A and B are shown apart, each in its own frame.
Chain A
Amino acid sequence: MKNIWAIARRQYENYFVSPIAYAVLTIFLLVMGYFFYNILRLIVENSMMEAMQSQQFGGLPPGVDVPSQVARNFFGILSTILLFMLPMITMGLFAEEKKQGTLELLMTSPLTSVQIVLGKFLAALAFFVSMLLPTLLYFEIMQVYSQPHFPWGPVFNSFFGILLLGGALLALGSFISSLTENQIIASVSTFGVFLILWVLDISSRSGESKLGEVLGYLSVLNHFEDFSKGIFDTTHLIFYLSFMAFSLLLTLRSLESLRWRQ
């Protein structure tokens, strides 16, 4: 446990000594802030328009749940943005160590490969959480202005879903990073793989076949939708956890195979 912590801590600190972390954080928060603002504005405008229309025709104003609609749209976009941002978090995990030759230090120290893989993964996850936390503020601001206050439950449910989705993608990204010693190659191929996982989701929607159904099930984004609707389904929880475990297992195998290949 101490060893995992040592690896994770160094990796996490390493994020903040390179400009990449600040670039990722800044751009992510800028983009998400922009989307949040626009989603909120659009939905509020729409609901006002509808209210005005119904007043004109003398009916009852339709009940529009602005906060939950904002949350749904926001998390939908957030989950897509992650496909672009997460490769930058994972690209260096192993590729950089290989390039610097520091993997030799880790692998000749009294550490097990499991500890190295878990430490790295936890650091990436921790950085991802630090990236997400400020977006909670957006909801806090919305809460201040909403009357009556909206419940936090569905919002946290969505955050939990995002965490699972992010964890699964980070685990896959760390596997890809362990295959190369070039960070650029790691990030581009991770992005490519994420993109395919995303497209799987789109192609499964159009097709009616059994294959489409299977592909749809494998799409990582599909499983997130329920979370953003405020539904907590253990199917999705198990999907993400097993996706994560499987990817980490691949990373472990890839790391151990280095010993045999070198």
Chain B
Amino acid sequence: MIEVSHISKRYGVKEAVHDICFDVKDGEILGFLGPNAAGKTTTMRILTGYIPPTSGTARIDGLDILEQSLEARRRIGYLPENPPLYGEMTVEGYLHFVGRIKGIPVGDRAAKVEDVMKRCRLVNNSSEEEDYSRRLIKHLSKGYRQRVGLAQALIHDPKVLILDEPTVGLDPKQIIEVRDLIKSLAGTHTVVLSTHILPEVSMTCQRVVIIDRGKIVVEDTPENLTQQLRGGDRLIIEMSGALEPITAGIRSLPGVHAVSSKPLSSPQGYELTVEVGEDRSARNAVARVIMDLGGQLWSLRPASMSLEEIFLELTTSEEAVEGQAAGGQEKP
């Protein structure tokens, strides 16, 4: 549905996006992940035809974004970072206007506006209170504005949806609602959504593209990504007993890659971190070693590397270590 090939974008001397390639299949939800200023917004703007790439090209539903721009744009619903709203208009009036410029025929327009307001919970048949259709957009809260923005992107039932940080600035309940709405689009719509909030990706997306300083770092499913980078399991063990022989014993086990230890606050207690292969039987062997050598096993739990850690591992480089490029933080 979306094919991006070798897209680069330069602003003066600064290269915002460098040689990006990826495909999005029909009906798939793709997460576009990266720290701030990684080139997410630039890539999305290029896909929506707002700005042209310096080099490279992209196709939406087989249509070139530069050569057949109007046709391609007809198939896209786009929610920019700041929802493009006219504060002086009512929600309904605004959606009618958007319907008009997106080319929805007059006959269908009222029905589509009605439908999209329901889907984005801007109207609720059961209560007058929750009817936002006649409210002026400037009087709406951030969360409702975001919904109107989403409604604007959905109104013409586009094949492709491009959402730039759709959950920014929402409260937790609204975030869940928006995520559910996005998930409900899978299958019928192809969605590209950008975010710098990691759990969002594992919750909503089928595939992730991680981008950092204009380059794609990795592209995979969230599960695979966790699996692959972890290269096996990590066990966190709390125990007491003779530290030296026990660590040596564990280290000599087959399938164990590394052992590290640190003392716990309780006396004679230690926390061991054991890197093991994917073979589950290693856990058993590790536990046996501890008990055979007279240690007391307090707890043993597998610690999987979180997406956060992977993300940091991938996007944190020498110069960025000072906490600058750390993911997951809010924009200033």
Contacts and interface: CB of A to CB of B under 8 A. Distances in A.
A6 B84 contact: no
Interface residues of A, number: 24
Interface string A1-27: 011001100100010011000000000
A112 B85 CA distance: 20
B80 interface: yes
Interface of B: 45, 48-52, 70-71, 73-74, 76, 78, 80, 82-89, 97-98, 100-103, 152
A101 B82 contact: yes
Nearest to A258: B51
A260 B88 contact: no
Given A6-B101, A105-B152, A100 B87 contact: yes
Given A105-B152, A108-B76, A110-B103, A260 B86 contact: no
Interface string A66-79: 00000000000000
A259 B73 contact: no
B73 A108 contact: yes
B70 A112 contact: yes
Most buried by A among B49, B50, B86, B101: B101
A144 to B, nearest CB: 40
B50 A259 contact: yes
A104 interface: yes
Contact of A109 (B71, B87, B101): B101
B84 A105 contact: yes
B50 A107 contact: yes
A108 B98 contact: no
Nearest to B105: A2
Contact of A260 (B52, B74, B98, B101): B52
Contacts of B103: 3, 110
Contacts of B98: 105, 109
A101 B84 contact: yes
28 contacts: A6-B97, A10-B86, A10-B97, A14-B86, A17-B88, A100-B85, A100-B86, A101-B80, A101-B83, A101-B84, A103-B84, A104-B45, A104-B84, A105-B78, A105-B98, A108-B49, A108-B76, A109-B98, A109-B102, A110-B70, A110-B71, A110-B74, A110-B101, A110-B102, A110-B103, A112-B70, A259-B50, A262-B51
A102 B88 contact: no
A11 to B, nearest CB: 10
Contacts of B88: 14, 17-18
Contacts of A262: 45, 50-51
Interface of A: 2-3, 6-7, 10, 14, 17-18, 100-112, 259-260, 262
Given A7-B101, A109-B101, A104 B52 contact: no
Contacts of A108: 48-50, 73, 76, 78
A108 B84 CA distance: 11
Contacts of A10: 86, 89, 97
Contacts of A18: 88
B112 to A, nearest CB: 15
A101 B74 CA distance: 20
Contacts of A106: 101
A108 B101 CA distance: 10
A67 B78 CA distance: 58
B99 to A, nearest CB: 9
A260 to B, nearest CB: 7
Contacts of B87: 100
